[in-house]
Structure 1
Amino acid sequence: MKKWLLLLVTVCAAFSLAACGTSSSSDKKTLVMGTSADYPPFESKDGDNIVGFDVDLAKALAKKTGHELEVQDMDFNGLVTALKTNKVDIVLSGMTPTPPRKKQVDFSNVYYTAHNMIVTKKSSGIKSLDDLKGKTVGVQLGSIQEEKAKELTSKYDLKVENRNRISDLTEEIKAGRFDAAIIEDIVAEKYLNKNKELTAFNLPKDPGDQAGSAIAFKKGSDLMEKFNKALKEMEKSGELDKLKEKWFSGETQK
């Protein structure tokens, strides 16, 4: 009798563990968001807190889909891997849904579209792409700006260097190790406000340029459909526009 009872308990425990192992991401009460907190106004550090447009957007979407949110800071280049290895549930980090990334993870609808700028020292004399010929240009590792720099290399003979953080790029320019860097416009403006010796100009946009930020999910995640629905609700209600006004107007950013 004891043997049969032990067997029954073991079988029940096995079924319980199996049920836990197959629970979907949407069943989790707290979702972990991965981001690279060096990208104001999308995400940046404010003391021990991570703040920004992406953080506020993620919190709003999490609330609408019945979740709480935990935000983790990591290097941009490691975000997709973190998603694929279940270290995070979602990624919001100004990430563009490029074809190579789409092969690895799923993306929501695009929630913001921006352009690129060339950031350099005011004293550099660099005012156009032609002035960059033979120069050293910095980009964030794993970003679409890195891909863009490589595209420009053949025509302008650029020497492309990458770094993990946007702040590293601006410091390298100030130290004279980089002549310039390619940075997304809204982000570049925040760094220009803090570094008066820097200036920037718009990088001419090609029709084939990839653009837009979207939320990344693990392949096959049932969260994507729910987040897309909530995102559409925010667009229709004007909530998304209010967040853009808050973070992109320049009035609330340090």
Structure 2
Amino acid sequence: MKKLLNNKLKHLFSVLTLLPLALLSHPLSAEQTSATFEHIKSTHTLNIGYRQLAPFSFRDKSGKVSGYTISLCNMIADELRLSLGLKQLEVHYIPVLFTERVAALNGSRIDLDCSVNTDAPERKNSVSFSTDYFASTMRIISLRQNNIHTLEDLRGRTVSVPRGSKDLLELNRLNREKHLSLSIITSDTSEDAFEMMAQKRTAALILDGILAYPLINQSEDPEAFTILHEDVGEKMKYAIMMRKQDPLFVAFVDKTLENIFESPLHAQLTNKWLSQTVIIKNKQKD
């Protein structure tokens, strides 16, 4: 029954997208060209960059690359195959470090970065962004025993945050403006930043709340942690990252996303990937 429902939703999605994508066929044959379209058409491959950032992009225990943003990019791949008239399109999932994503795009190692990318003005000189698909909110994650209830409770204490992220820039701004005297320790990954907090090396972790839930649920005792409701800093918009100087490809991706967001399938994706809660694990009684 569930498989039948999924097939019907996929069919509905394809019907919704065929007409708008047909409108894009004219620009593809016009004098303007798209390096990305030409590369995909000549190689019959689409290279998708990702990182271990559940629930948006991650490789699960079975080796399958999944997540909300990966699902969006898989649909984009389906529409690319149809629009370019390809019988087959190979999709390669390529793990890309946070610090390497711009070079990977501009060096044509990947065609889309489908992990967590904040649409920031300072980055638009190097890459292009799709329309945003999620508004993130930084939250304070800590051990319950630390009794941290507000940002002010962290004054003068040590916090961990992933290196190079927009979260770090926003936290540095707040630290200066509010004179919090925070000692900020950075790490290469969100997992490392979480472990610092879990091992009491820092008083708290500053991270997008939705990224914290999978980390908490993978721990031995999810109930030991708390995610504060207080927003830390301004909301940040997540988007798919693409190469610069390819407006036709960006327009194609944006149109495909627009159709996804307007289809019933999007509610199914949201419920599957973005409805995050802390999972209470059963404890054996003595």
Query: Aligned to 1:214, which of 234, 239, 250?
Result: 239
**C-alpha contact 1:30 1:68 (8 A) present in aligned 2:** yes
TM-score by length of 2: 0.74
Q: Secondary structure at the match of 2:228?
A: strand
Look up the equivalent residue of 2:58 and give its one-letter code: S
1:73 pairs, out of 87, 95, 98, with 95
Query: In structure 1, what is the Cα distance between the partners aligned to 2:136 and 2:235?
Result: 10
What does residue 271 of structure 2 align with? 245
Q: Report what 2:7 is aligned to.
A: none
DSSP 3-state at the match of 1:119: strand
Shift of 1:58: 0.7
Q: Which residue of 2 aligns with 1:24?
A: 35
Match of 2:116 among 94, 99, 118: 94
| Contact 2:140–2:204 (8 Å) recurs in 1 | yes
- Between the aligned partners of 2:159 and 2:65, the Cα distance in structure 1 is 28
Q: For the structure 1 residues 95 and 55, does the alpha-carbon distance in structure 2 shift closer, same or farther, using more than 3 Å as the test?
A: same
Whether the 8 Å contact between 2:139 and 2:208 is mirrored in structure 1 is yes
In structure 1, which of residues 150, 168, 183 is the aligned counterpart of residue 172 of structure 2? 150
Contact 1:105/1:219 (<8 A) preserved:
yes
Change (3 A) 1:23 1:113: closer
CA contact (8 A) 1:120 1:173 kept: yes
- 1:118 to partner: Cα distance: 0.6
Q: TM-score, normalised by structure 1?
A: 0.83
Name the amino acid aligned to 1:190: P
| 2:66 counterpart (39, 44, 51) | 51
After superposing on structure 2, the runs of 4+ consecutive aligned residues of structure 1 that deviate more than 6 Å are none
> Does residue 40 of the first structure (1) align with residue 54 of the second (2)?
yes
Match of 2:141 in 1: 119
Stretches of structure 2 that go unaligned for 5 or more consecutive residues are 1-32, 82-88, 280-286
Matched, 1:225 2:247: no
Give, as a single letter, the amino acid of the residue that structure 2 aligns with 1:126. Answer: I
- What's the offset of the Cα at 1:210? 4.6
Cα RMSD between the aligned structures?
Answer: 2.0
**Whole-Å Cα distance in 2 between the matches of residues 148 and 93 of structure 1?**
20
1: CA distance, partners of 2:165 / 2:267? 25
Moved more, 78-87 or 102-111: 78-87
User: Partner residue of 2:283?
Assistant: none
Alignment of structure 1 residues 159-178 onto 2, 5 Å: 159-178=183-202
Secondary structure class of the residue paired with 2:73: helix
Aligned residues: 228
Bigger CA radius of gyration? 1
Structure 1 residue ranges without an equivalent (≥5): 1-21
- Alpha-carbon deviations, 1:158-215, whole Å to 9, x = none? 1112112111111111222121111111111222223322212034355xx2511111
Higher mean alpha-carbon deviation, 239-248 vs 55-64, is at 239-248
1:77 shift after superposition: 2.4
Aligned-partner residue type, residue 232 of structure 1: E
Contact residue 119 and residue 188 of structure 1 kept, 8 A: yes
User: Which of these residues, 90, 93, 107, is aligned with residue 129 of structure 2?
Assistant: 107
Instruction: Give the Å deviation of 1:114.
Output: 2.3
Which string of whole-angstrom CA distances, capped at 9 and with x for unpartnered residues, describes residues 31-53 of structure 1? Answer: 1111211x111112212222111
Q: Please tell me whether the aligned partners of residues 54 and 92 of structure 1 are also in contact (alpha carbons under 8 angstroms).
A: yes
What is the distance in 2 between the residues matched to 1:56 and 1:228? 15
